A = this chain, B = another copy of it.
Amino acid sequence: MNSVDLNTLEAWQAARLLARRELLAADLARACLDRIVQRDGEIHAFAHLDPDHAMAQAHALDRGAIRGPLHGLPLGVKDLFDTVDFPTTYGSPIYEGHRPDSDAAAVALCREAGALVIGKTVTTEFAFFHPGPTCNPRDVRHTPGGSSSGSAAAVADHMLPLALGTQTSGSVIRPAAYCGVVGYKASSGRVPRAGVKSISEALDTLGGFGRSVRDVALLGAVLTGDRRLEEGLDDPKAPRIGMCRTAEWPHADADTQQAWAEASAVLIRHAPATQDVALPEDMPDLVALQKEIMAFQMYRALSYERLCSLDQFSLQLQAQMDDGAKISSASHAHHLWQARTARRRINLVFEQFDVLVAPSAAGEAPIGTDATGDPVFCRGWTLLGLPCVHLPFARGRHGLPIGVQLIGRWGDDHRLLAFAQWVHDRLMSKGR
Contacts and interface: CB of A to CB of B under 8 A. Distances in A.
A274 interface: no
Contacts of A84: 304
Contacts of A336: 189-190, 411
A302 B109 CA distance: 10
Nearest to A99: B101
A432 interface: no
A201 B192 contact: yes
A328 interface: yes
B198 A192 contact: yes
* Copies of the chain in the assembly: 2
Contact of A300 (B105, B198, B303): B105
Interface residues of A, number: 50
- Residue from A202, A411, A412 with most neighbouring chain B CB atoms (10 Å): A411
B202 A102 contact: no
Interface stretch (A21-29, A41-49, A173-181, A225-233): A225-233
A111 interface: yes
Interface in A305-332: 305-307, 328-330, 332
A108 B109 CA distance: 30
A303 B411 contact: no
A128 to B, nearest CB: 14
Nearest to A325: B225
Contacts of A428: none
A103 B189 contact: no
Contact of A411 (B95, B333, B411): B333
Interface string A271-307: 0000000000000000000000000110011111111
A224 B329 contact: yes
Interface of A: 84, 95, 98, 101-105, 107-109, 111-112, 189-190, 192-195, 197-199, 201-202, 224-228, 296-297, 300-307, 328-330, 332-333, 336-337, 344, 411-412, 414
